[in-house]
Copies of this chain bind each other. A is one copy, B any other.
Amino acid sequence: MKEVKIERALTYIEPGPVTLVTSFDGVRNNVMTISWTMAIDFDGHIVITTGGWNHSFSVIMETGECVVCIPPAEMAETVVDIGMVSGADIDKFSVFPVTALPAKTVKAPLIAECIACLECKVTDYIDDYGFIVLKVQRVVVNENAADKRMLHAVGDGTFVADGEKFNLRERMKAKLPPNL
């Protein structure tokens, strides 16, 4: 995993991929699947929507941190399987093919198999909607990932991988965020 500048965090969330969000409760690592996420500024703030029904939720709120990881499309089955069980019942890192690596700014782990991981601290919580507002502290990318296609959850049990790319940087140069 290689550290890249924090402004790149946006480019891993804005495209709308399904994510694997890790946490650490002081004893065990945990991970949940979340696809309700949103970029909200150019300063590294993002939002994830979840709630008390998720075992990870209380850990993230208590520790004030998590890592938002972006799995490649080839991990689709693992992403679903992780979302089907609770970390209250099993140790997901020992059951599923995900490898925890140490983060630098938080105690929650990176996931070695992911395209990128965003180390995050909780800055706010909007209870009415279950919005956890996060500030990205550090961005690491996996330059050796064999599959760099993000995976998008359709919401009905189907998923779509990234396909054709379009470079329209020249066309929107005047509105691109600085440093990107």
Contact = CB atoms under 8 A, between A and B. Distances in A.
Contacts of A164: 73, 149, 160-161, 163
B157 A176 contact: yes
Nearest to A174: B84
A49 interface: yes
Nearest to A149: B163
Secondary structure at chain A's binding surface: helix, strand, loop or mixed?
Answer: mixed
A165 B160 contact: yes
Given A15-B160, A160-B162, A163-B163, A155 B180 contact: yes
A40 B35 contact: no
Contacts of A81: 171
Nearest to A160: B162
A158 B73 CA distance: 19
A73 B168 CA distance: 13
A37 interface: yes
A57 interface: no
A154 interface: yes
A73 to B, nearest CB: 7
A157 B169 CA distance: 4
Contacts of A37: 38
A87 interface: no
Minimum-distance CB pairs A-B, first 8: A16-B16, A163-B163, A157-B169, A14-B155, A38-B38, A15-B152, A10-B155, A156-B180
14 contacts: A10-B155, A14-B153, A14-B154, A15-B16, A16-B35, A39-B155, A40-B129, A84-B175, A152-B162, A155-B177, A160-B166, A161-B162, A161-B164, A162-B163
